[in-house]
Structure 1
């Protein structure tokens, strides 16, 4: 089992990878630098969006990105706001890409 990256380090690396792919992204909520969870909102700029959070399987130890909410953007924003009420240390990154890319399935980000 490898060392766990800090949230701040992971967010900076993720934003850099998005930048290199030409995908605009913004931090809309700055969470705890060390241990804050990260939520990614993907907005294809058509009035819809999806929000993804990291899930941890206690049996296998595997981590994966799962859909927290998807649909019309105001509903997704409301789901994100509810998550932030439960977890004030939560990071929120908004990715804006008309093709719907977020890169979370890529090596190093998927697990």
Structure 2
């Protein structure tokens, strides 16, 4: 089973082996509203934890997507190029943004698990 972790910027990363799949949380897509554009990173790009890796634009705002951990982009979700609404329809599934080969799996330790993220969202009011 994949290990899923969350950031305070509302990104999630689902890790299987040394590869993490990254997207935004359901909470984030609800805050954004209808997604109208997604800019994905280049495959092969090396990113550090906290780097801006993608941009998502909605009818309300544009928001940067940050790398929850460092690594190399190994894939992007081509389906988003055809249907930006996947982010709204299935943020934690079909609406994923990219896959990263983790450079340091220990960076996951600084992220929240599902219970901690749920508490964090509650604290936002």
TM-score scaled by length of structure 2: 0.26
Which of the two has greater strand per residue?
A: 2
Greater RCO, 1 or 2 (C-alpha within 8 Å, sep 6+)? 1
**TM-score, structure 1 normalization:** 0.29
